[in-house]
Structure 1
Amino acid sequence: MASATNTSNYKLNHTMLRVKDPKASVKFYEFLGMSLVKKLAFPDNKFDLYFLAYDSPKAVSHGASTFDREGVIELTHNYGTEDDPNYTVNNGNKEPHRGFGHVCISVDHIQACCDRIEQAGYKFQKKLTDGRMRNIAFALDPDGYWVEIVSQNIKSTGADDPAEQGVETDVSTYRMNHTMIRVKDAEKSLKFYTETLGMTLLRTHEAKEAGFNLYFLGYGANDNETGSITAHREGLLELTWNYGTEKDADFKYHDGNSEPQGFGHICVSVDNLDAACARFEQMQANWKKRLTDGRMKNVAFLLDPDGYWVEVVQNERFAGKENF
């Protein structure tokens, strides 16, 4: 059964975030150049799902079906939260509920992109000119989730680059580049994402003086083999490991699904859902929900070593029909 699935066909399809007001959130991500490619309404269960992705003719996944893409953002809206003055999401970056870190878009001209965001009235966690890292910024979406902004030009020095001055930005060239989650034990997490899920470790950044490492993973060839740079990719996963957490028996990151909730899951789409789940079973993966559990028989959820949820769905291109 497991031989009927091939991890080279898998895609890191989407990242799910719970939102308070879908109108405000959809407007923000559309302002960043994304398009609403699918909306699923579940009125009986009192929630809606909004799937946003880059879909211009210049986009990597232009015209593809929703689950045959990478770099999708799924916004989950539970009815009534928009009218609840006490409802806020956990953005994953505040103690003691840290875990999920951010989503990241890569852009053509980072200074012009940040200027456009600021002029529209959106706030920043970190502007280009803040701190020592002057080639990255973090905007805040309407719920306070961090949206990292990086340049697709690997040589760009950001705020200090003369080439970034006086140019316009084209949102149709943007990519939903990666999703960052913090992990307790890098070795265990890398084993899960490379062996169980079949991803490739594309790049490692060691910040020894600061006491952390970053690991960038994705499906497909290593950048060194293709000659491309990770900033031009979409649908990557960034694991952040702070040294020493693996030695603390009591240390635990927040998975986003325990209260207070925020980030929900990442999702991998596969070529053959039944065969992929049979393979995960053979590899003794930990399950949150098997295909046969509950009423939803076309989605499953794995648990990674930190307890983050990993949804598994059918890539519609291989099935020849819509999932929903």
Structure 2
Amino acid sequence: MAPKSLKLNHTCLRVKDPKASVEFYTSKFGFQLLEHKKFPDMKFDLYFLAYPHKDAEGASLPFGREGVLELTHNYGTENDPGFKINNGNVEPHRGFGHICVSVDNIEVACDELEKQGVKFQKKLTDGRQKNIAFALDPDGYWVELIENGIGKQDGKTDVSSYRLNHTMIRVKDAQRSIRFYREVLGMKLLSTSEHPNAEFTLYFLGFNDDDSFVENSLTREEQAALEGVLELTWNWGTEKDEGFKYHNGNAQPQGYGHIGISTDDAESYCANIVAKFGDEVQWNLKYDAGKLKNIAFVRDPDDYSIEILATKPKL
């Protein structure tokens, strides 16, 4: 049985210029900077941002809650005019798709972002889907906007209702990936959205410690109010192409880094995965084996990295 303390804690994105990125997410989207961790010996810094709403358990703790955005800055990239982040949506390096922020009133939120000069990949009025939009951050990452309706008022938007709702990655074989996230990591299937005309299916997963929860049962409205959701996008037929492969974000050109899972006893959680699945599961880093202690990195079927870390790391 999966530990009840499991959380989809964070999503890591590499950024070129941390000043521009932190300013974007705080001033435009209302995130708050929880912590700035410096690693000068390894020449990178980490910035942890989140929405400090009252429903967030451990709201001020970077690893004790869901809905955290981790921005990774490798020193010097901001001074390299030729350096460019891979946003995961351009061939031949597609893989990661977007992060998603859910808001109380999507029309007003999008209008305010436009007034602040935020560029959009897709506005509400573009395309068939009139209930979603995609903003662009300074590195060209896509930020989806959906509506959660929390405390919605006409003509207004309140950032206290905003949630870092989900992270989307594309997967080659949906059933293989769902098995990994459910059986190996302990997530539950929250909902499924099938789009036969466009030949793709979306699977939404997350941790849920309610023993009575019925999988694949959440409505769009219920799901939009959450944080810590993983969206798997499966384009039909990719599983039949032996040579097909998605870009994992950590090979060159880099961009997306990983999702991070936190739990009270990360060491035991990792040990149980090894004991149950053995060589079937591949690791980039076994628990506590690297320079940075109290963490591990496991790989999913598409070679995306998942960090596993303790809710309260040992000193």
TM-score (norm 2): 0.92
Residues 223 and 80 of structure 1, relative CA distance in 2, 3 Å threshold:
same
Please tell me the residue identity of whatever aligns with 2:231: E
Higher mean alpha-carbon deviation, 129-138 vs 288-297, is at 288-297
Q: Do structure 1's residue 241 and structure 2's residue 237 form an aligned pair?
A: no
Of 223, 226, 231, which aligns to 1:230?
A: 223
Q: Distance in 1 between matches of 2:90 and 2:120?
A: 16
Of 185, 191, 205, which aligns to 1:217?
A: 205
Of 185, 193, 200, which aligns to 2:181?
A: 193
> 8 Å contact 2:189–2:215 — kept in the other structure?
no
Q: Distance in 2 between matches of 1:64 and 1:225?
A: 31
Q: Which residue in the other structure is 1:261 paired with?
A: 254
Q: Which residue in the other structure is 1:110 paired with?
A: 106
Secondary structure at the counterpart of residue 108 of structure 2: helix
> 8 Å contact 1:15–1:74 — kept in the other structure?
yes
- Structure 2: give runs of 5+ residues left out of the alignment: none
Deviations 1:111-138 (A, max 9, x none): 1100111111110000000011110000
Show the 5 A alignment for 1:129-140: 129-140=125-136
Q: Distance in 1 between matches of 2:4 and 2:259?
A: 18
Please tell me the residue identity of whatever aligns with 2:295: V
Q: Distance in 2 between matches of 1:100 and 1:225?
A: 25
> 8 Å contact 2:49–2:70 — kept in the other structure?
yes
Q: Distance in 2 between matches of 1:95 and 1:84?
A: 23
Q: Distance in 1 between matches of 2:165 and 2:214?
A: 15
Q: Which residue in the other structure is 1:173 paired with?
A: 161
Q: Which runs of 4+ in 1 moved over 3 A?
A: 61-64, 221-228
The CA deviation at 1:40 is 0.6
Q: Do structure 1's residue 182 and structure 2's residue 165 form an aligned pair?
A: no
Q: Which residue in the other structure is 2:39 paired with?
A: 42
> 8 Å contact 1:59–1:173 — kept in the other structure?
no
Q: Which residue in the other structure is 2:96 paired with?
A: 100
Secondary structure at the counterpart of residue 202 of structure 2: strand
Q: Which residue in the other structure is 1:73 paired with?
A: 69
Q: Distance in 1 between matches of 2:218 and 2:183?
A: 21
Residues 172 and 112 of structure 1, relative CA distance in 2, 3 Å threshold:
same
> 8 Å contact 1:13–1:269 — kept in the other structure?
yes
What is the aligned length? Answer: 305
- The structure richer in helix per residue is 1
Deviations 1:230-269 (A, max 9, x none): 0000010000000000000000000000000000000100
The CA deviation at 1:39 is 1.1
Please tell me the residue identity of whatever aligns with 2:130: R
Q: Do structure 1's residue 308 and structure 2's residue 301 form an aligned pair?
A: no
Of 277, 287, 302, which aligns to 1:291?
A: 287
Higher mean alpha-carbon deviation, 227-236 vs 119-128, is at 227-236
Secondary structure at the counterpart of residue 195 of structure 1: helix
The CA deviation at 1:222 is 4.7
The CA deviation at 1:64 is 4.1
TM-score (norm 1): 0.90
Residues 64 and 54 of structure 1, relative CA distance in 2, 3 Å threshold:
same
- Structure 1: give runs of 5+ residues left out of the alignment: 155-162, 317-321
Q: Which residue in the other structure is 1:157 paired with?
A: none
Q: Which residue in the other structure is 1:204 paired with?
A: 192
Q: Do structure 1's residue 120 and structure 2's residue 113 form an aligned pair?
A: no
Q: Distance in 1 between matches of 2:236 and 2:2?
A: 34
> 8 Å contact 1:8–1:198 — kept in the other structure?
no
Residues 106 and 223 of structure 1, relative CA distance in 2, 3 Å threshold:
farther
